[in-house]
Amino acid sequence: MQYFQYRCGQLCAQGVPLAHIAQAVGTPVYIYAEAALRHNYQTFAKASADMGSLIAYSVKANSNLAVLSLLASLGAGADVVSGGELERALRAGIAPGKIVFSGVGKSRDEMRKAIIAGIYQFNIESVPELIVLNDEACALNTTASIALRINPDVSAGGHEKISTGKAENKFGVNIDLARDVYKHARDLPGIEVTGVDMHIGSQIDSLAPFKAALLKALDLVQDLRRDGHDIRTFDMGGGLGIVYNQDEDILPTAADYMDMVRRHTKGLDLKMIFEPGRAIAGNAGVLLSRVHYVKHGTARNFLILDAAMNDLARPALYGAYHAIMPVIEPVSDQTETYDIVGPVCETGDTFATHRRLSVMKGGDLVVMLSAGAYGAVQAGQYNTRPLVPEVLVKDNQFSVIRTRPDLEDILKLESVPDWL
C-alpha cells in the first residue's frame, strides 16, 4: 500500500492527510489514489504489450466516471455488463472499438444501444441470447461480432459466490456444447463469429486454474478453426487476485500471468483480451470511517463505526477480509481486541471480529484498506443512510468525484399516491 502511508504520524493518501479529507467531506468516504490506478493499469499494459492485447477494464469493479476517464486517458478499453456501464464507459471517453459487453442477461434495449455504439465484441452466454442479438442486429441491417463465453468447468478456488467457471454456475456455455453453438451462430445472418471468451472467477490466488482453463479453451479454438470458424480473438476475462491481508502469501503478478498466457498462445495468431478490474482498482482505494463509540462488553469489545454494510458490503456478502488501520500512527504498543461493526440494525453489519488494534476512542478515524474495488459500486441506502461519497487524490490535492446526497435528495425520488 505504498500510496497510503504514515507521514509525520498521519496516514496519507499520496500527499494528502486523510484527516483533512474527513474534515472537508465528512465520513464515511471512499478515497482513491490516482497514482495507484495509473500504476496498476500500466503494469497490465506493459506486461502484455508485445501481444497487441486489449486491456478491457472491468467497469463493475469501480465505475466512477473519474476513474474511467483516467483509465481512458491511459488507453484502456472496458468490459461492461449493463447498458448503464456502457453509457459510463462512453461518457468517460473510452472508444467503442475497445468495449466488450459481457453478462448473462443483456436486454434487447442494451444490445441495440451497444450495436449502434459500435462496440468491439459481445460475449455471448447462451443460445437464447445469441438469437435475440441476431434479431436486433438484423433489425439494424448490420452484424454483431461475438465470442461465445465457454464454461470450462474449472474450479478457481476462493469464495463460492465469486466462482464463475464451474458447470453448476450460471455463466457461459458448457465447453462440451460449444462447437454446436458456434455452428448455429455461423448460420445466423446478423452474427459474425470472431472469438472465444472465458472468465472463471474472481480473487484467484494461483495461476494453476487460469492455465487449466486456458488449455481447455485453446483446444476448442483449434477445433473451431478446423470447423471453418475464423477465430481471431481470445478473451481471458479477469480474476487475478490482490493482497487483502498482509499475512497472505505473495500472489502472482500481472507479469507472471502474462508470461503464462504468452507461452501457451504463442504462434496461434490470437488477439488477446484481458478484463482486470479488482487488480487495477482494489488496492488503489480505502474506506475512511470515524469511530462513533467504543463499547466494552463482557464477551466482546465493539468498535462502532459510522461506516456500515450499506457502504462496504463485501464482509457481509462474502466474509471478506479488509485490513483496518488507525489514521493516527500509534505511539505505543498498547492494543485492544475489537469486533469492528457499523450502525445498521443487522448482525451481519460486521467488518471484522477479534481484530487487534491500537487502543481506540470515540472520534478516532480508521481506514479499511483494499476497498477500491467492489466497494462504492455495491453501496446502497439501507436504513436511509446516504450513499457514500468518493474522492480522488492526485499528489497533494483531492477532488470529490461523487457527492454525498442529503435526505432531500433521497426522498425526492419517492412519491405518495393521491389516494393516501
Contact 210, 202 (CB under 8 A): no
Q: Where residue 163 falls among pLDDT bands split at 50, 70, 90?
A: very low
Among the listed residues 278, 300, 282, 302, the one whose alpha carbon sits nearest the alpha carbon of residue 291: 302
Per-residue pLDDT for 162 more than 50?
A: no
pLDDT at 299: 87
Radius of gyration of the chain (CA): 23
Q: Where residue 345 falls among pLDDT bands split at 50, 70, 90?
A: very high
Mean pLDDT of 35-64: 96
Question: Nearest 5°: phi and psi at 217?
Answer: -70, -35
pLDDT at 246: 76
- Taking the C-alpha atoms of residue 242 and residue 80, their distance in angstroms, rounded to an integer, is 21
Question: Nearest 5°: phi and psi at 408?
Answer: -65, -40
Q: At which residue does the C-alpha cell 455452428 appear?
A: 183
Residue 345 is a catalytic residue? yes
Catalytic position from the list 8, 12, 138, 345: 345
Per-residue pLDDT for 249 more than 80?
A: no
Contact 232, 194 (CB under 8 A): yes
Per-residue pLDDT for 214 more than 50?
A: yes
pLDDT at 218: 97
pLDDT at 159: 45
Q: How many CA atoms does the CB half-sphere of 373 hold within 13 Å? A: 27
DSSP-assigned states of every residue in 320-356 = ----EEESBPP-SS-EEEEEEE-SSSSTT-EEEEEEE
pLDDT at 164: 44
Q: E strands of 246-330, at which residues? A: 271-274, 285-296, 301-305, 324-326
- Taking the C-alpha atoms of residue 213 and residue 165, their distance in angstroms, rounded to an integer, is 9
pLDDT at 165: 39
- Taking the C-alpha atoms of residue 18 and residue 141, their distance in angstroms, rounded to an integer, is 54
For the chain, percent of residues with pLDDT exceeding 70: 95
CA geometry: angle 208, 211, 214, nearest 5 deg: 150
Least trusted range by pLDDT, from 67-71, 89-93, 298-302, 352-356: 298-302
CA geometry: angle 271, 272, 277, nearest 5 deg: 145
Mean pLDDT of 159-182: 69
130 Cα distance to chain centroid: 26
Instruction: Render pLDDT for 359-405 as a digit per residue (tens, 0 to 9).
Output: 999 999 999 999 999 999 999 999 999 999 999 999 999 999 999 99
- Taking the C-alpha atoms of residue 347 and residue 334, their distance in angstroms, rounded to an integer, is 28
Mean pLDDT of 23-42: 98
Mean pLDDT of 234-248: 88
Q: Is 334 exposed, middle or buried (0-12, 13-18, 19+ CB in 10 A)?
A: exposed
User: CB within 8 A of 352, min separation 6: which ones?
Assistant: 315, 321, 322, 324, 338, 339, 340
Domains of the chain plus CATH, in order, are 4-31+282-411 (2.40.37.10), 103-274 (3.20.20.10)
- Taking the C-alpha atoms of residue 214 and residue 266, their distance in angstroms, rounded to an integer, is 13
